[in-house]
């Protein structure tokens, strides 16, 4: 890269260094301490991490986070992709597109409060219908198994619209000749999807997957507002656990350690995705 190239990258590079890289390094530094500047920070090395690994509640949050992304990542991607395909094939129109995209415009608090009310055992329509149909006797947000999938469902409803827009833009950019040739060769819609559409979608899919992975792993607002991590700790994801350790237990060293572990989880998963999609240009 020449001097010009460096100059072009410099404004973003400085911001990235100041607001992403340095906080990350500083967060790691905090995680190696018993952090309380008012009485003096005490360096403890990896003791905070060892303590965390011995804490059952940390492991609970760790697995809850994986369960959550297991629902959310495929959910958002598949629903968003299906909606984009339906729009592209003109099976549905602009009204559907608007309605499907609309939740994405809402703030996380509004989304969570709205769905929390729908699930409310006293006034929630959603719960009343489920109760009358004999499907649910316990409010789903207070059910140890269903609470997390319900938060994940809300997250899918909220975010799938944006993925739809991304996929739709990609679909519109694919050359029509390829599809015509496939048609002439006698390929059906399923074969066309798997041999033409999906390979062409790879970069877009990767972008959507990275975005969804990062968002899903860091989920916080909808969890704290809909279930507060409950019942018990059944839906306490790592981001919420980190918040509790820092803001409720006043232990910022340990909270920073949770944050750094969360970063490593996201980083590893994104690297696996990049490797899996074999997009050399992205890796370079």
Residue 117's H or E segment, with its range, is helix 108-119
Q: Does 199 bind other proteins (CB under 8 A)?
A: no
Among 228, 270, 273, 274, binds other proteins (CB under 8 A): 228
Nearer to other proteins, 11 or 56 (CB): 56
* Structure-derived torsion over alpha carbons of residues 43, 46, 48, 54, reported in degrees to the nearest 10: -150
Residue 69's H or E segment, with its range, is helix 56-88
Residue 223's H or E segment, with its range, is helix 221-226
Q: Smallest distance from the beta carbon of 236 to other proteins, in angstroms?
A: 8
Residue list 102-131, contact with other proteins (CB under 8 A): 120-123
Nearer to other proteins, 130 or 165 (CB): 130
DSSP-assigned beta bridge partners for residue 34 = 42
CA distance 73 to 214: 10
Q: CA distances (Å), 241 to each of 55, 194, 258, in order?
A: 12, 40, 8
Among 69, 77, 111, 141, binds other proteins (CB under 8 A): 141
Say if CB 139 and CB 121 are below 8 A apart: yes
Q: Does 27 bind other proteins (CB under 8 A)?
A: no
| 3-state SS class at 157 | helix
Q: Does 97 bind other proteins (CB under 8 A)?
A: no
Q: Does 284 bind other proteins (CB under 8 A)?
A: no
CA distance 224 to 124: 19
Tell me which stretch binds other proteins (CB under 8 A): 16-24, 77-85, 166-174, 242-250. Answer: 242-250
Q: Does 186 bind other proteins (CB under 8 A)?
A: no
Torsion sign, CA atoms 241, 242, 246, 250: positive
Q: Smallest distance from the beta carbon of 93 to other proteins, in angstroms?
A: 40
Q: Which residue has the tokens 């500047």?
A: 37
Q: Does 44 bind other proteins (CB under 8 A)?
A: no
Phi, psi of 280 (to 5 degrees): -55, -45
50: its two tokens: 């060892």
Among 29, 51, 196, 200, binds other proteins (CB under 8 A): 51
Reference 241, options 231, 226, 228; nearest CA is 228
**DSSP for residue 137:** S
Q: Does 189 bind other proteins (CB under 8 A)?
A: no
Q: Smallest distance from the beta carbon of 59 to other proteins, in angstroms?
A: 12
Q: Does 142 bind other proteins (CB under 8 A)?
A: yes
Nearer to other proteins, 122 or 185 (CB): 122
Site map 245..274 versus other proteins, x via CB under 8 A: -xxxxxx-----------------------
Q: Does 37 bind other proteins (CB under 8 A)?
A: yes
Nearer to other proteins, 221 or 231 (CB): 231
Instruction: Please give the residue ranges that form the binding site for other proteins (CB under 8 A).
Output: 36-39, 51, 54-57, 120-123, 138-139, 141-142, 144, 228, 230-233, 244, 246-251
């Amino acid at each position: 890269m020449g001097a010009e190239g460096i100059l072009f990258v410099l404004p973003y590079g400085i911001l990235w260094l100041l607001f992403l890289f340095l906080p990350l390094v500083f967060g790691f530094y905090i995680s190696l301490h018993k952090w309380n500047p008012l009485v003096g920070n005490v360096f403890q090395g990896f003791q905070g991490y060892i303590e965390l690994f011995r804490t059952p509640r940390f492991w609970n949050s760790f697995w809850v986070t994986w369960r959550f992304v297991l629902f959310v990542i495929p959910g958002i991607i598949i629903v968003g992709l299906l909606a984009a395909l339906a729009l592209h094939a003109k099976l549905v129109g602009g009204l559907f597109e608007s309605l499907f995209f609309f939740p994405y415009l809402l703030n996380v608090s509004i989304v969570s409060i709205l769905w929390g009310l729908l699930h409310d055992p006293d006034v929630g329509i959603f719960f009343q219908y489920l109760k009358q149909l004999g499907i649910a006797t316990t409010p789903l947000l207070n059910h140890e198994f269903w609470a997390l999938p319900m938060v994940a469902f809300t997250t899918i409803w909220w975010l799938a619209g944006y993925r739809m827009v991304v996929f739709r833009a990609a679909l519109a950019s694919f050359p029509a000749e390829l599809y015509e040739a496939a048609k002439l060769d006698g390929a059906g819609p399923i074969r066309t999807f798997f041999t033409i559409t999906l390979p062409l979608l790879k970069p877009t899919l990767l972008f959507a997957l990275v975005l969804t992975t990062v968002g899903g792993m860091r989920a916080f607002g909808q969890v704290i507002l809909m279930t507060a991590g409950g019942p018990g700790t059944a839906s306490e994801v790592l981001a919420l656990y980190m918040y509790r350790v820092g803001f409720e237990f006043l232990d910022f060293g340990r909270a920073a350690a949770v944050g750094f572990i969360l970063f490593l989880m996201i980083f590893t998963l994104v690297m696996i995705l990049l490797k899996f999609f074999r997009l050399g240009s992205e890796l370079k």
